[in-house]
Structure 1
Amino acid sequence: MAENVFEVEIPLRWGDMDAYGHVNNVTMFQILEEARVAVFGMPPSSGEPVAESPRPRVHLFETFPDGVQALIAEHHAKYHSPLPYRGLKVKVDVAITEVTAASFTISYRVFDPHTSTLCVSASTVLAFFNATTGTLTRLNKAQRTELESFIN
């Protein structure tokens, strides 16, 4: 694992399988979402974290004021191999690969937990939206610097 890649394990549920006996493509985006939350924490203006809530590995979301939302601007996925249900946690590598003025790109690689076969490579572009003003929120210098420090 590269230094700036976060390794996350996501449990699969029996119901995540589709009629073909492997994890459904819609479920795959939910797995990516869980991996993203494991690395970045709850998005701003969502959820109700408590003292026992897991701490994010990247402390970006907590730097935004109330009313700013993290929104998905793009999703891309490439399916390399079916991911069968095995009753094991799926390994997901998460990395920050690009930072722009008002967004950043998260890349993922999802592996079969038994064979280590790459099943899916994907990316998400997150942008930040101020619900009060109805405008995009630009990343400030400290936020950009924090994100850029994780790019390989």
Structure 2
Amino acid sequence: MGLFMAQVRPRWSDMDVYGHVNHANTVTLLEEARIALLFGEAARHAGAEGIARGVVVARIVVDYHAPLVADGGSVRIALSVREMRHASFTMDYEVHSGPSEDDPVAVTAETMLVPYDLANGRPRRMSDAEKDFLAAWRSGSNCA
């Protein structure tokens, strides 16, 4: 598969005094796209629903290439898994300024995510089903 596509609609309230979506709200748009993949039907169908029961962001990097504005339309976010470890994985994001892959890339980002056992309050290893599900969205070859 490689890339997961999400359409996310920035809200008017996401914009700052400069007329573009501010950093905190950009991170929220990334989260909405990530939730669509990790908490969606495909994850449940693959037996990877454990991710939805507990995953935390351990690291986030956001690079801005152009302003992202809320104009009433959706933006296209492409997600992929770049790196997988036994107890973490890294996702890459490419945020286009509109709904099409032809729209310019406004933001690129990455998050390192850690499966988390909420009941015991600690990180946990991924199950085989979770690894298989994430591998289907892998864009690189850094798998441990």
Q: Could you tell me the TM-score, scaled by structure 1's length?
A: 0.79
For residue 62 of structure 1, give the secondary structure of its aligned residue in structure 2.
Answer: coil
Aligned-residue offset at 1:61: 4.7
Give the Cα–Cα distance (whole angstroms) in 1 for the partners of residues 128 and 38 of structure 2.
18
Give me the identity figure in percent: 30
Residue pair 2:60, 2:112 contacting (<8 A) in 1 also: yes
TM-aligned CA distance change 1:64 to 1:151, over 3 Å: closer
Unaligned runs of 5+ in 1: 42-54
Residue pair 2:10, 2:69 contacting (<8 A) in 1 also: no
Aligned-residue offset at 1:137: 0.7
Aligned-residue offset at 1:97: 1.1
Who wins on radius of gyration, i.e. which is larger?
Answer: 1
Please name the residue that 2:119 is paired with.
132
Aligned-residue offset at 1:28: 0.2
* Aligned counterparts, 1:56-67, within 5 A: 56-59=41-44, 61-63=48-50
Give the Cα–Cα distance (whole angstroms) in 2 for the partners of residues 84 and 140 of structure 1.
39
* Aligned counterparts, 1:2-21, within 5 A: 3-21=1-19
* Corresponding letter in the other structure for 2:131: R
Q: Could you tell me the TM-score, scaled by structure 2's length?
A: 0.83
Aligned-residue offset at 1:12: 1.6
Residue pair 2:75, 2:95 contacting (<8 A) in 1 also: yes
Aligned-residue offset at 1:145: 2.6
* Aligned counterparts, 1:2-151, within 5 A: 3-41=1-39, 55-59=40-44, 61-63=48-50, 69-113=54-98, 116-151=103-138
Root-mean-square deviation (CA, aligned residues, Å) is: 2.1
Question: Number of matched residues?
Answer: 135
For residue 38 of structure 1, give the secondary structure of its aligned residue in structure 2.
Answer: helix
* Corresponding letter in the other structure for 1:94: L
Greater relative CO, 1 or 2 (CA 8 Å, sep 6+): 2
Q: Deviations over 1:82-115 (max 9, x none)?
A: 1122211111111111110101111111111177
* Corresponding letter in the other structure for 2:110: S
